[in-house]
Amino acid sequence: MDSPLMPVANAPCSFGVDEILPPDAWMPEPDEMLDWMVELDYAGTELGPPGYLGDGRTARARLAGRDLAFVGTFIPQRFSHAECIDEDRAWLRTHLQLVRDTTPERSHPLAILSDGLDEPVRQATSGRIADHPEAKLPADRFETLVANVHRTAEICRNAGFDVVIHPHAGTYLETADEIDQLMNRLDPALLGLCLDTGHFRFGGADPTACVHAYAALLRHVHLKDCSVAVLESVRQSGKGFAEAVDRGVFTDLGQGDSGIADVVEALRQHDYRGWLVVEQDMFLGERDTRESIVASQRRNRAYLRSLGL
């Protein structure tokens, strides 16, 4: 049987597994989560928080034993902070070794770069940056960001990884303008774009329009749906990114305003042949059960099948 042109994976964050969680959140066990992915017919996974799947040897065995492809690893770096670069790059080199040790045969995980997630002003004003000029990055720090994105990409490529940049809510790469500024400066010989349909919508960009605008740079896709109604309620309450996730801003696929069906059609028009990774960022609390988590990701897989995926 021929391999699908756009194979479908999932990610640990869809099952409540994330780098940053509220103190009262819970996570499933790694083997449990991976078994769910196999049961639900997802072909691969991203790494999730470093160490969650175990050390490299353990993680590789877990993936290989289930015939799950290792699709990518999320790598946050504080690109606009020159004073943090040495510390961040030391962590990066250690992390890339973990990724190499984790990679099963026939897997080629991407290095998925993101700006740092620990910017308090951006986390607090995420989704409403236009109303907060104090949260915008000064021009000199944007230059630092651009330079360090490219230098970090070089390090990853020299270590044997293909690289993409993932604009992300709560960082200095969130809004449509910020994304466009970086895309206009991006060196495609070093890295491409990871389009996250939920984060793009969250920051005010049109995901389908971005497929067309940045098709030449597009090398990875996270499928995430975003509810504008939930986002607006969070804006009205003056809250930020964590509150939005807790309120369920990232809905089941097809239930929000990211235009998932239109995005998939646009990808087909541009002959995109990379991974589609379902991501439904969520924090698991008392209201969530193992049954409800699995049911949500089963609905997401069924929705994608309805689109021919």
- What is the overall mean pLDDT for the chain? 96
Domain locations along the chain: 8-306
Residue 20 — pLDDT band, cuts 50, 70, 90? confident
CATH T-level assignment (fold) for domain 8-306: TIM Barrel (3.20.20)
With beta carbons less than 8 A apart as the criterion, state whether 240 and 34 touch.
Answer: no
Summarize pLDDT for 176-215 with one digit per residue, the tens: 999 999 999 999 999 999 999 999 999 999 999 999 999 9
Percent of the chain with pLDDT over 70: 99
Position 189 scores a pLDDT of 98
With beta carbons less than 8 A apart as the criterion, state whether 182 and 149 touch.
Answer: yes
Position 2 scores a pLDDT of 46
Residue 3 — pLDDT band, cuts 50, 70, 90? low
Q: Would the pTM of this model clear 0.95, i.e. be above it?
A: yes
Summarize pLDDT for 153-182 with one digit per residue, the tens: 999 999 999 999 999 999 999 999 999 999
Using alpha carbons, list the distances in angstroms from residue 157 to 60, 172, 289: 21, 23, 40
Summarize pLDDT for 212-260 with one digit per residue, the tens: 999 999 999 999 999 999 999 999 999 999 999 999 999 999 999 999 9
Summarize pLDDT for 62-100 with one digit per residue, the tens: 999 999 999 999 999 999 999 999 999 999 999 999 999
Q: Is 281 helix (H, G, I), strand (E, B) or coil?
A: coil
With beta carbons less than 8 A apart as the criterion, state whether 225 and 252 touch.
Answer: yes
Position 4 scores a pLDDT of 77
Position 173 scores a pLDDT of 98
Percent of the chain with pLDDT over 90: 96
Position 1 scores a pLDDT of 35
Which long-range contacts link 89-93 to residues 24+ away (Cβ below 8 Å)? Answer: 89/152, 89/155, 92/152, 92/155, 92/156, 93/155, 93/159
